[in-house]
Amino acid sequence: MTEILNCDLAITNAYILTLDDDFTEFAPGLILIRNGKLVYVGPDQPYAPRYKTTETINARNKLVMPAFFNAHNHAGMSIYRGLGNDLVLDDWLNRFVWPMEAKFATPENVHLGTLLSTMEMIRSGTNIFADMYFFEEEVARAAEEIGMRVILGEGILNFPTPHFDNAEKYFTYLEQMVTQYRDHSLVGISISAHAPYTCSDELLKRVSELAAYHQVPATIHLAETQWEYDSYMERYGKTSTQYLADLGFFDHHVVAYHCNYLSETDRQILKQSGSGVATITHSNMKLASGVCPVKDLMNRGIPVAIGTDGPASNNNQSVLMDMRSSVLLQKTIEKDPTVLDTHTAIRMATSNGAKAYRMENQLGSLEIDKQADLIMIDTDQPHWQPMHDVYASIVYAMLPSDVETVIVNGRVIMKDRKLLQVDEKKILHQVKTLMKKMNQ
Amino acid sequence: MTEILNCDLAITNAYILTLDDDFTEFAPGLILIRNGKLVYVGPDQPYAPRYKTTETINARNKLVMPAFFNAHNHAGMSIYRGLGNDLVLDDWLNRFVWPMEAKFATPENVHLGTLLSTMEMIRSGTNIFADMYFFEEEVARAAEEIGMRVILGEGILNFPTPHFDNAEKYFTYLEQMVTQYRDHSLVGISISAHAPYTCSDELLKRVSELAAYHQVPATIHLAETQWEYDSYMERYGKTSTQYLADLGFFDHHVVAYHCNYLSETDRQILKQSGSGVATITHSNMKLASGVCPVKDLMNRGIPVAIGTDGPASNNNQSVLMDMRSSVLLQKTIEKDPTVLDTHTAIRMATSNGAKAYRMENQLGSLEIDKQADLIMIDTDQPHWQPMHDVYASIVYAMLPSDVETVIVNGRVIMKDRKLLQVDEKKILHQVKTLMKKMNQ
């Protein structure tokens, strides 16, 4: 007698892009989900296994693929979206961001801003974001409410912040957070040093040691600007990356954000340490900060993932759009249209995030025993057709709004463009009310 | 007694961005339309004029602004979307585009491909496109069917094409087209030389003379690649732009496409001749063709507009997305975040197209006596909020799918994302059927 697969949710009749190592596709394909995990991904009728299910989604004419991975964000900053544009970084921070944060970076507003960001991320097909901001317990709360994954990163630095007036308090807080979220189904932790130049040597060492002790990634903004590169060379005769390496920061797992200015040695450090990199495209382009040498890092085998950066500097949070701009920019800078082909591009937006954070056994492709995190896409639209190459349509033509349904950890959190776990209208209303206060 | 304005359509209660010289806004604003023209743009109640109207749209909570202008396209090429990606230009043309065009560039398929493209353009808020392709009478027919504007440009060159086996036949055809579409409400004409290197001197001169005679623009692909620049310098000791100028090509109104490789003299030629330029961003980035010196051209007062290029090389046709990439790329290349601010960016996507084609008295801003061509946008979405700066939200966060309603020449051609003049499902079905034939 054949075994019967019991499951909570079946997705039938789909055009499945697994994004596994061989880019296996199934059409018509079937996905079976139990306890938040994929228990079957393969052909649908007439080759489907026998199964019983609580719920079924008929994905006829829909594309089903892994959700997008946002490898770097400051989600709570959405409340500052559009404040100060077309400015150099320092000007923007000094004149707009920091004065506003001094007034408005409260736990309540970080929660509201993050909720707003999670809505935008889910609506553009992202299931997980790595965050770096203040009041990260509020970030966790927002992610749990909407039902998406987050990797928390309370940004540690040697200056007083809206959250803590001294660095010591971070460590007490982080110990508590690590304990609280150990083995949480949606929330993970990283230990985040804000940047080499905002943290003392001692702080950087403690961040690295704490991350190592708890076996979580250390994360950091690294080599974002020419200024950072030049000032380290001038002051220490070495790059900020080399400086961190000499402190032992790369002895444990690191995910580094930006990485626009890297020497040959820096690139070897990133490779040999097994670090992940998040390239930040729109935000770096908008602030003219620089361009990450993505092609070279990828050629070395470093997993380069896509981060949107915060919505205050991007000003949107679509991993898809940042991925498109990233590959187009690399072709332009390298003067070579063959670099970062469509298969590579789509990996950057999905499995490379999982690899950078060492979650590739759980996320990044649709394979049995991985987490049931996926998106369903409506391709029956003019900009998708004719679909001579489905990967080209995703990388070069798809819009974030084409994502109809999002499933995270086996749970449907958006269905036919409707968010199921939160009251979207109410949150938008709260955001508008806050904006009025900010403009008084 | 106060005059009563009679009109066909009233748009009430709108948040109007006129994009006039002063960026005047009205909220709540009122727009009155009669015979395809704007007869009132200004404050709504309590300051509205007295009017009678056949139809009213309540635009409560909607943003209303001029539609986007697509200054360069090959709309009929949508049927090749996704065929051959991540290749150098020659390889892509030789291996994919030309063999497929030899088989499939028929009048029927150009009509179908253009219809598909017009659907995508309307859905992303574009009201007009300047086209260059074969069988342009079919392009006109498609544009008329959906109800959008087009500037035709049958591409003339010295090689046989799917349309004509020799260049002479073009001129007979063009004379007839100019007569047919003189004073047409939606269809305009340009005389298009394909490129300097595909046309003989005689052909280039005749194009220019014909355009001058009929007082329509001459259009041309110009200085797209390093190869074009180098080969003209090597062969003639001058650039392709200078070569055209010496032939007298710039004695009359020209709109030049791409313009990635321009000497100082070339830039002066473009300025002194009153030419318009369409910058092509996604397609040039994807093919690594080069970058148009937009900032410098704009500083000289040359109207630089946004063209999407054909959907086979982009692979989408959203002026909004190409505008965003264009300003982000310029900031990156110039290493200066202050270049091309949000006001400038939005002009590139709207009024600069009108200026480049010398249609600024009819299109590009919402002012009395101009054509009633506008879009209504749903800003009540997470990626728009909070809207501290509406222009920043448009330039950096808006998605093409946020366009809900499109009005061209006073007629509603999309309402609440539904195309009113064509059967979208039927066209998509025809496209899929054609794709099957293409893949046989």
Hey, is the C-beta of A90 within 8 angstroms of any chain B C-beta?
A: no
* Residue pair B152/B188 in contact by the 8 Å Cβ criterion: yes
Tens of pLDDT, residues A43-87: 999 999 999 999 999 999 899 999 999 999 999 999 999 998 888
- HEC string of chain B equals CCCCEEEEEEEEEEEEECCCCCCCEEEEEEEEEECCEEEEEEECCCCCCCEEEEEEEECCCEEEEECEEEEEECHHHHHHCCCCCCCCHHHHHHHHHHHHHHHHCCHHHHHHHHHHHHHHHHHCCEEEEEECECCHHHHHHHHHHHCCEEEECEEECCCCCCCCCCHHHHHHHHHHHHHHHCCCCCEEECEEECCHHHCCHHHHHHHHHHHHHHCCCEEEEECCCHHHHHHHHHHHCCCHHHHHHHHCHHHCCEEEEECCCCCHHHHHHHHHCCCEEEEECHHHHHCCCCCCCHHHHHHCCCCEEEECCCHHHHCCCCHHHHHHHHHHHHHHHHCCCCCCCHHHHHHHCCHHHHHHCCCCCCCCCCCCCCECCEEEEECCCHHHCCCCCHHHHHHHHCCHHHEEEEEECCEEEEECCEECCCCHHHHHHHHHHHHHHHCC
State which residue of chain B sits closest to A430, comparing Cα positions.
Answer: B386
CATH of the domain at A26: 2.30.40.10
Residues A249 and A322 in one domain: yes
Q: What is the mean pLDDT of residues A431-436?
A: 97
pLDDT of residue A168: 84
Q: What is the distance between the alpha carbons of residues A182 and A210, in angstroms, rounded to a whole number? A: 14
- Cross-chain CB nearest to A386 (options B81, B89, B341): B81
Residue B237, sorted as left (phi over 0), alpha (psi -120 to 50) or beta, turns out to be left
Asked whether residue A425 is domain-assigned, the answer is no
Residue A9 belongs to what H/E stretch? strand A5-17
Residue A1 pLDDT exceeds 70: no
The verdict on a CB contact (< 8 Å) between A435 and B387 is: yes
Segment 12-51 of chain B within 8 Å of chain A by CB: none
- Report helix, strand or coil for A160: coil
Q: How confident is the model at residue B1 (pLDDT cuts 50, 70, 90)?
A: low
The verdict on a CB contact (< 8 Å) between A83 and B288 is: no
- Report helix, strand or coil for A53: strand
Count interface pairs A-B at CB distance under 8 A.
214
pLDDT of residue B85: 87
Tens of pLDDT, residues A186-232: 999 999 999 999 999 999 999 999 999 999 999 999 999 999 999 99
Smallest CA–CA distance, residue B157 to chain A, in Å, is 27
pLDDT of residue B89: 84
Q: Read off the amino acid at residue A181.
A: Y
Which residues of chain A have a CB within 8 Å of the CB of B318? 383
Would you state the torsion angle of the CA atoms of residues A155, A157, A162, A164, taken in this order, to the nearest 10 degrees?
Answer: 100
Hey, is the C-beta of B88 within 8 angstroms of any chain A C-beta?
A: yes
Instruction: Quote the tokens at residue B29.
Output: 């604003």
Segment 101-160 of chain A within 8 Å of chain B by CB: 116-117, 119-120, 123-124
pTM of this structure = 0.97
Hey, is the C-beta of B424 within 8 angstroms of any chain A C-beta?
A: yes
Tens of pLDDT, residues A242-279: 999 999 999 999 999 999 999 999 999 999 999 999 99
Question: CA angle, A101 as apex, A99 and A106 as ends, to 5°?
Answer: 145
Residue A28 pLDDT exceeds 90: yes
Q: What is the distance between the alpha carbons of residues B324 and B397, in angstroms, rounded to a whole number? A: 9
Q: How confident is the model at residue A160 (pLDDT cuts 50, 70, 90)?
A: confident
Q: How confident is the model at residue B159 (pLDDT cuts 50, 70, 90)?
A: confident
The residue whose two tokens read 């820096």 is: A266
Interface test with B, best of A294, A324, A328, A414 (most B CBs within 10 A): A328
Other residues' Cβ atoms within 10 Å of the Cβ of residue A360: 16
Looking at the structure of chain B, the number of domains it has is 2
The verdict on a CB contact (< 8 Å) between B428 and A82 is: no
Asked whether residue B334 is domain-assigned, the answer is yes
Q: How confident is the model at residue B302 (pLDDT cuts 50, 70, 90)?
A: very high
Hey, is the C-beta of B418 within 8 angstroms of any chain A C-beta?
A: no
- Cross-chain CB nearest to B337 (options A116, A117, A287): A287
Q: What is the distance between the alpha carbons of residues B320 and B377, in angstroms, rounded to a whole number? A: 13
pLDDT of residue A159: 86
Residues A62 and A72 in one domain: no
* Residue pair B349/B320 in contact by the 8 Å Cβ criterion: yes
pLDDT of residue A130: 98
- Cross-chain CB nearest to A286 (options B80, B88, B331): B331
Q: What is the mean pLDDT of residues B311-334?
A: 96
Write out the residue range of the structural domain in which residue A62 sits.
4-66+362-419
Other residues' Cβ atoms within 10 Å of the Cβ of residue A94: 13
Asked whether residue B280 is domain-assigned, the answer is yes
Q: How confident is the model at residue A374 (pLDDT cuts 50, 70, 90)?
A: very high
pLDDT of residue A88: 86
Share of chain A above pLDDT 70, in %: 100
Residues A306 and A388 in one domain: no
Residues B80 and B60 in one domain: no
Residues A117 and A252 in one domain: yes
**Parallel/antiparallel/unpaired status of strands A62-66 and A25-34:** unpaired
Share of chain B above pLDDT 70, in %: 100
Asked whether residue A397 is domain-assigned, the answer is yes
Tens of pLDDT, residues B53-107: 999 999 998 999 999 999 999 999 999 999 988 888 888 989 999 999 999 999 9
Q: Read off the amino acid at residue A417.
A: R
Burial environment of residue B422 by CB neighbours within 10 A (0 to 12, 13 to 18, 19 or more)? middle
Last residue of a domain, one of B356, B376, B394: B356
Asked whether residue B336 is domain-assigned, the answer is yes
A225 Cβ contact partners less than 8 Å away, ≥ 6 residues apart: A89, A260, A261, A289, A290
Q: What is the mean pLDDT of residues B218-227?
A: 97
pLDDT of residue B438: 94
Asked whether residue B428 is domain-assigned, the answer is no
Asked whether residue B224 is domain-assigned, the answer is yes
Other residues' Cβ atoms within 10 Å of the Cβ of residue A410: 20
DSSP state of A129: E
Residues B36 and B183 in one domain: no
pLDDT: which is higher, A354 or B166: A354
State which residue of chain A sits closest to B124, comparing Cα positions.
Answer: A383
Q: What is the mean pLDDT of residues B406-426?
A: 98
Residues A154 and A103 in one domain: yes
Tens of pLDDT, residues B6-41: 999 999 999 999 999 999 999 999 999 999 999 999
Residues A52 and A197 in one domain: no
pLDDT of residue B357: 98
* Residue pair B82/B315 in contact by the 8 Å Cβ criterion: yes
Q: How confident is the model at residue B165 (pLDDT cuts 50, 70, 90)?
A: confident
Residues A272 and A165 in one domain: yes
Q: What is the mean pLDDT of residues A177-183?
A: 93
Residues A29 and A102 in one domain: no
CATH of the domain at A107: 3.20.20.140
Last residue of a domain, one of B337, B356, B375: B356
Residues B209 and B320 in one domain: yes
Hey, is the C-beta of A83 within 8 angstroms of any chain B C-beta?
A: yes
pLDDT of residue A90: 84
Asked whether residue B370 is domain-assigned, the answer is yes
Mean pLDDT of chain B: 96
Last residue of a domain, one of B306, B326, B356: B356
* Residue pair A310/A74 in contact by the 8 Å Cβ criterion: yes
A192, A297, A301, A302, A326 from A276: Cα distances, Å = 14, 10, 10, 6, 17
Residues A159 and A281 in one domain: yes
